[in-house]
Amino acid sequence: MIKSATLKLYQALHTWTGIIAGFALFIAFYAGAITVFHADLHSWQDPDTRGAAYEQIDDAGPRIARFHAQHPELKGNFAVMLPSDHDPALVAWWFDAARNEWVNKPLAQAEQHIAPAPHSKLADLVNELHYSLGLPVAGIWVMGVVSLLYGVALISGVVVHLPLLVKDLFALRPGRNLKRFWQDAHNAIGVLSLPFHLIFAVTGAIFCLFTLMAAVFNYGVFDGKLMSEFPSYTSSAVPRTAAKQPAAMLPPAELVGVARRVAPQMEANWLSFSNYGDRNATVEIRGVSPNTLAPYGGIGVELATGRVLRIDIPGQRSVNQAVLGSVYALHFGSFGGHLMQWLYFVLGLAGAFLFYSGNLLWIEARRKRQNPEQPLRTWRMAQATVGVCIGACAAISAAFVASMVAHMVGGDPALFERVACFATFFILLGWAFCRAPARAAIELLLTAAVLSALIPLANAIATGDHLLVTPWRGLWGVFGVDAMGLALAAGFTALARATWRRARSGQPGSVWALTPPDKTRATTVVEQAS
């Protein structure tokens, strides 16, 4: 039996870690649920690539050689993404030291010295919101700390609810006591999805705080040698010192053939070159092995001879590679195919609900039931919950709509998406603080519903690819994104309706009521109670 004082301590710990981290985690989970379909988002955001024929890699060798000759500053260190469903072109990737970021350009444009047209970065924006809330520089560190608080909230929550776990786990008691219903739903979702939440908390902290942890181990344990040795133990790349002697390089078609002989189950999609054009050049052939826990892997190959140097695929990898690959797969749900993706999508939305309902419970727990005027802190927390949570949902939908608007007017999609997303969020956040919480909740939910419903409509107007034709064209990724928009619109509409009913007929003393209780009646209740 757990002592009462211990339960109170863990309850306070659970409440305040949840409150502090809740807003960030809501955005991370909602955006994370969408970014599970990262490849499908690429298909949706780039209409020009939909249904296009794959570029052939049979003659790609001379094209890659010309790209290498045009960019001597790269010193033979670049990568080429092979054609895929979300981008049927051969695309060169390299690190731009001046801009301190990775950039890319289709090889066809590179050969003709064509400046790349502005392209959408919608999938990257949603992913950025997931791992850094869109905050520059410090965002990933903030999410690392949030992930640690998330873990504390999970553990303390289990301790708090452990005594009643078996009795109340499946108890959902709807009725006039809405606080109890929300508490039941919060507890059930939290406990049933606990293993997945523990995975998200641990892997999220590892990803976001990796650089800090690596630095600590580098200088505190490995005497400054960890960072230089890390790549050789965690990837299939085999970098070598350049011999400064030119040699003929094997073309991509032969490299893919080498990968098929070594790993027939792996679908190659990426070639990462080191010292291209040199006798000591190597390539890391990366790809996906479906139906495995850690599907991403690679093969290190000598570019001049085709000799296999290292293998990192399921069943043939070191412990370091297996652990790193498993951590990544468990966090992003990149194993188990589409069924696992949909499961992670549902878990992401359920996680967002967990933090939203946690805030609602905090607000209701501090409601003064016999007082027509609620404390200011309760009022502000309700406004913040509406503005941040529902505002973020609407903002992400606005980014989708803006992407298609940019295609229609010939604007820069990446700029349109980012401006629409953050402008919508801050406008709605400000609106929430100018309105009563109940009115703001209804208005923002309806706004999110409208913007979500506009996702398939904007796509249909901009491209002609609507829900009735995309399945027949085999554009299931595009169909899925449009269907997701309609499903979200229906969900927000249902929530707006439920919020309106609660505001009109629920307990009048709540901040979620449209009209405050009659003060005379409240005084009578107080006198009777005394």
Encoded tokens for 250? 């094997």
Tens digits of residue pLDDT in 229-284: 666 666 778 888 899 999 999 999 999 999 999 889 899 999 999 999 999 999 99
What is the model's pTM? 0.82
Across residues 367-382, what is the average pLDDT?
A: 70
Strands 267-274 and 296-302: unpaired
Of 34-38, 157-161, 326-330, the least confident? 157-161
Q: Residue 507 is encoded by which pair of tokens?
A: 């307990």
Domain boundaries, the chain: 1-46+120-208+335-365, 52-118+235-331, 369-519
Tell whether the torsion through CA atoms of 183, 442, 400 and 420 is positive or negative: negative
How far apart (Å, rounded) are the C-alpha atoms in residues 509 and 391?
25
Per-residue pLDDT band at 491 (split at 50, 70, 90): very high
Q: Which two tokens stand for residue 433?
A: 């603080």
pLDDT on residue 171: 53
Q: Give the pLDDT of residue 388.
A: 95
* DSSP designation for 366: T
Segment among 19-33, 103-117, 398-412 with least mean pLDDT: 103-117
Give the per-residue pLDDT at 526.
34
User: What whole-number distance in Å separates Cα of residue 194 and Cα of residue 42?
Assistant: 31
Identify the pLDDT of residue 517: 47
Of 38-52, 121-135, 230-244, 418-432, least confident by mean pLDDT is 230-244
Query: Is pLDDT larger for residue 292 or for residue 469?
Result: 469
**Residue 447 phi/psi, 5° resolution?**
-65, -45
Q: How many angstroms separate the CA atoms of 361 and 110, rounded? A: 56
Distance CA 152, CA 116 (A): 46
Residues paired with residue 312 on neighbouring β-strands, in sequence order: 298
Secondary structure E strands in 219-345: 267-274, 282-288, 296-302, 308-312
Scored b (16 or more CB within 10 A) or e, 481-510 reads bbebbeebbebbbebbeebbebbeebbbbb
* Least confident window among 66-70, 317-321, 424-428: 317-321
**pLDDT at residue 181 in the model:** 60
Strand order of the β-sheet with 282-288 is: 101-106, 91-96, 78-81, 267-274, 282-288, 296-302, 308-312
Query: In angstroms, rounded to a whole number, what is the distance separating the alpha carbons of residues 190 and 358?
Result: 10
Burial 70-79 (b: 16+ CB within 10 A, else e): eeeebebbbb
Q: Render pLDDT for 497-511 as a digit per residue (tens, 0 to 9).
A: 988 988 887 667 678
Which residue did the predictor score with more confidence, 514 or 308?
308
- 168 pLDDT exceeds 80? no
The SS3 call for residue 96 is: strand
What burial letters (b/e) apply to 364-384, b meaning 16+ CB within 10 Å?
A: beebeeeebebeeebbebbbb
Mean per-residue pLDDT, 94-104: 82
Q: How confident is the model at residue 528 (pLDDT cuts 50, 70, 90)?
A: very low
Residue 524 has pLDDT above 50, yes or no: no
More confident position, 317 or 93: 93
Report residue 415's pLDDT band, with 50, 70 and 90 as the boundaries.
very high
How do residues 387-412 score in pLDDT, each as one tens digit? 999 999 999 999 999 999 999 999 99
List, for residues 180-235, the tens digit of each pLDDT value: 665 666 666 666 677 787 888 888 888 887 777 777 777 777 777 776 666 666 67
Write out the two tokens for 321.
């590679």
Please tell me which residue, 178 or 246, carries the higher pLDDT value: 246
- Number of alpha helices (DSSP H) and beta strands (DSSP E) in the chain: 20, 7
Q: Give residue 320's identity as a one-letter amino acid code.
A: N
The residue among 289 and 518 whose pLDDT is bigger is: 289
Q: Is residue 160 within 8 Å of residue 14, measured between CB atoms?
A: yes
* Measured torsion, CA atoms of residues 307, 310, 311, 316, in degrees rounded to the nearest 10: 130
Query: For residue 445, what is the enclosing H or E element?
Result: helix 437-463
Let me know how long the chain is.
530
- Rounded mean pLDDT of the chain? 82
> CB of 160 within 8 A of CB of 7?
yes
Dump pLDDT digits (tens) for 289-319: 887 777 888 899 999 999 999 888 887 877 7
- Quote the pLDDT of residue 327: 79
